[in-house]
Amino acid sequence: MGITLPRPAGDDDWWKKAVCTSDEECAELFYSEASGSAARAKRICFSCPARSACLEHAQETGENFGIWGGLTGHERRARRQYGRP
Ligand code: SF4
């Protein structure tokens, strides 16, 4: 049984354009602490048409884990600290 990546609830359907998928391999890539995984996930994000909306959602909801919108949790927290969306 695969892992399901969290998807936002509500009417906004930006995540339907996401190039990441909900299969186990993708979940491991986007939520792994393993060396190289974040870089691989980020490369996928940078070609994703939903990137801006994904990052905005992660920032609005205070998502602290995984790669969202091409940034790690640490990078997103740093942006929030400096008042950047
Ligand atoms: S920006 Fe990255 S994490 Fe967000 S939907 Fe696209 S591929 Fe998935």
What pLDDT score was predicted for residue 4? 46
Q: What is the pLDDT of residues 11-43, one digit of tens each?
A: 568 888 888 876 676 778 888 878 789 999 999
**Residue 32 Cα, ligand 1 centroid: separation in angstroms?**
15
Q: Is the CB of 67 under 6 A from ligand 1?
A: yes
Q: What is the pLDDT of residues 38-79, one digit of tens each?
A: 999 999 999 999 999 999 999 999 999 999 999 999 999 999
Q: Which of 29, 45, 56 to mutate to test the pocket of ligand 1 (most atoms within 8 A of CB)?
A: 45
Report the DSSP beta bridge partners of residue 71.
68
What pLDDT score was predicted for residue 9? 57
